[in-house]
Amino acid sequence: MPRVLLIEDDPSIREGVGLGLRRRGHDVSSAETGEEGLALMGGFRPELVLLDLMLPGINGVQVCRRIRETSQVPIIMLTARGDDFDIVVGLEAGADDYIVKPARTEVIEARIKAVLRRLSDPVGTRPGVEQHGELTIDRAGLSVAKSGERVPLAPSEIKLLLHLSASPEQVFSRQQLLEYVWDHSYHADARLVDACVRRLRTKVEDPDASPRYIQTVRGFGYRFGPL
């Protein structure tokens, strides 16, 4: 079962969520602070990080950025939903999803599974390497290179890119992307899509030009190309 690193300063949540997930067969390791969590990354090698946004010392957003520097491990933010701002900041820092506190273990587990499924079940059946302009997308190896140079992408980013590029020029609504990429059939939140598209663009698009690969279709959603 997946190894989950839980970084959460509040003992009741840490213990409660830890207990719930362990009962469902997850291998959970918990950390009280961001520093402790970062230290555990190497030894524990988690397959997923559950990260609280409000932490003593370095906060969740900073922890998220640090993890993203070295790893493409999926990250789910645990957040106080009241703060729309926090959600967006967390997502822009590189988180793949967010969970609003308080949440039942079944919700947490469903989100964890959805995030992990993204990588084990790539979109489309076409194997091999595709070339789109300067982008090289390796569907089997789950890697993306721009002008021959590898682009490190978070799981949600690569999943989104794979999904869009599987059907070039087809327009997907935010809702469709949420359902395909995030499995969010129950909670429509376009911010996830928008934040992910923004992050993806900073990595694959030319900074000066208008978006070339991931284009906005105003009023409908996004599409890949035409190049």
Partner 1 sequence: MRRIAPLGLRTRLIAAFLLVAAISAVTTAALTYQQARNAILKQTQDTAISTLRDQVEQQEFRLPLDQAELQRIVIELGKRGKPHPWIIFGEYGSVRVSTNPGTPTSSVITDNLREKVRRHDYTAFQRVEDARGNPWLTIGVPALFEHNGFSESTGAVFYASVPLSTEKQTVEAMVDAAKQGAVPGLAIAIVPALLAARSVLRPVRDMRRAAQHLGRGRLDTRIEVRGADELAGLARTFNETARALEQSVSELQDAEIRARRFASDVSHELRTPLAGMLAVTEVLDEDAERLDADTAKALRLVSAETGKLAVLVEDLMEISRFDARAAELNLDDVDIAEAVRKTLERRHWVDDRIVAELPDQVRARLDPRRFDVVLANLVGNALRHGGAPVRITVRTAPGEGGERLLIEVADSGPGIAPEVLPHIFDRFFKADAARTRSAGSGLGLAITLENVRLHGGTLLAANGSAGGAVFTLDMPLEARV
List of residues contacting partner 1 (CB under 8 A): 10-17, 19-20, 23, 80-82, 84, 100-106, 108, 174-175, 185-191, 219-220
Residue 99 CB, shortest distance to partner 1, in Å, is: 10
Q: Which is nearer to partner 1, 10 or 138 (CB)?
A: 10
Residue 130 CB, shortest distance to partner 1, in Å, is: 30
Residue 222 CB, shortest distance to partner 1, in Å, is: 12
Residue 174 CB, shortest distance to partner 1, in Å, is: 6
Question: How many CB atoms neighbour CB 65 within 10 A?
Answer: 13
Expressed in percent and rounded to 5, the helix, strand and coil fractions of the chain are 40, 20, 35
Question: CB within 8 A of 9, min separation 6: which ones?
Answer: 32, 33, 52, 54, 55, 56
Q: Which is nearer to partner 1, 107 or 142 (CB)?
A: 107
CA distances from 89 to 55, 63, 138, 149, 207 (A): 15, 12, 30, 28, 20
Q: Which is nearer to partner 1, 139 or 174 (CB)?
A: 174
> Prior bond to 152 cis, omega within 30?
no
Backbone angles phi and psi of 90, in degrees to 5: -60, -45
Q: Which is nearer to partner 1, 63 or 78 (CB)?
A: 78
Q: Which is nearer to partner 1, 108 or 164 (CB)?
A: 108
Give 102-152 as a DSSP string: S--HHHHHHHHHHHHHHHHS-SSS--SEEEETTEEEETTTTEEEETTEEE-
Question: CB within 8 A of 38, min separation 6: which ones?
Answer: 63, 66, 67
Residue 163 CB, shortest distance to partner 1, in Å, is: 19
Q: Which is nearer to partner 1, 15 or 206 (CB)?
A: 15
Residue 35 CB, shortest distance to partner 1, in Å, is: 21
